[in-house]
């Protein structure tokens, strides 16, 4: 019986035998998976890649100079997030430093640009306050700049 089944298999055309289809299944599956991956890559947005990366690269020196200026003034900021928004208390080591009327604050998520928030904080006595949608739990970056973009403080929340 074994001999007759081998003779029968040898007389069938290739497309009626199981072995060629098993050999073709692996590469065919890889081709289908590559098209699925291509479709996902085209449809999804990669929020980590910036379209204006060259211009941002040129701004690095300006950003470093702003941070160095804040360090030379001895600026520090105490930040608190609460139900009413954000409150910042700014202090400077340099006695000649005069506090600006407003601060520009940018709260950003390292990987989810859609959650980033920018706002202007107004001085109220020795504090700066502004309304802010409280961010989701996780790692957040906070940047504070004066109204003339002379200095910049950065930190993690």
Beta bridge partners of 76: 91
* Measured torsion, CA atoms of residues 95, 63, 143, 122, in degrees rounded to the nearest 10: 50
Q: What is the pLDDT of residues 73-110, one digit of tens each?
A: 888 888 888 777 888 898 888 888 888 889 998 988 88
* Measured torsion, CA atoms of residues 66, 67, 70, 74, in degrees rounded to the nearest 10: -160
Q: Distance between CA atoms of 91 and 97, rounded to whole angstroms?
A: 9
Q: What is the pLDDT of residues 29-79, one digit of tens each?
A: 999 999 999 999 888 876 666 677 777 777 777 888 888 888 888 888 888
Q: Distance between CA atoms of 60 and 72, rounded to whole angstroms?
A: 18
Q: What is the pLDDT of residues 1-13, one digit of tens each?
A: 555 555 655 688 8
Residue 96: its pLDDT value, please? 81
Q: Distance between CA atoms of 127 and 85, rounded to whole angstroms?
A: 13
pTM flag (> 0.85): no
Listing DSSP states for 58-123 in one string gives HTHHHHHHHHHHHHHHT-EEEEEEETTEEEEEEE-S-TT----SEEEEEEE-SS-GGG-EEEEEEE
């Amino acid at each position: 019986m074994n001999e007759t089944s081998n003779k029968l298999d040898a007389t069938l055309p290739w497309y009626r035998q199981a072995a060629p289809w098993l050999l073709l299944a692996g590469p065919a599956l890889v081709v289908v998976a590559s098209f699925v991956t291509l479709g996902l890559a085209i449809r999804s947005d990669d929020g980590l890649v910036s379209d204006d990366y060259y211009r941002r690269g040129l701004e690095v020196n300006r950003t470093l100079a702003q941070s160095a200026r804040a360090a030379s003034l001895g600026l520090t900021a105490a930040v608190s997030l609460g139900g009413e928004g954000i409150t910042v208390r700014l202090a400077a080591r340099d006695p000649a430093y005069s506090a600006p009327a407003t601060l520009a604050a940018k709260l950003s998520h390292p990987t989810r640009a859609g959650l980033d928030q920018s706002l202007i904080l107004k001085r109220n006595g020795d504090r700066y306050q502004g309304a802010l949608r409280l961010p989701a739990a996780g790692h957040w970056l906070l940047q504070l700049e004066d109204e003339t973009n002379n200095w910049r403080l950065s930190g993690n929340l």
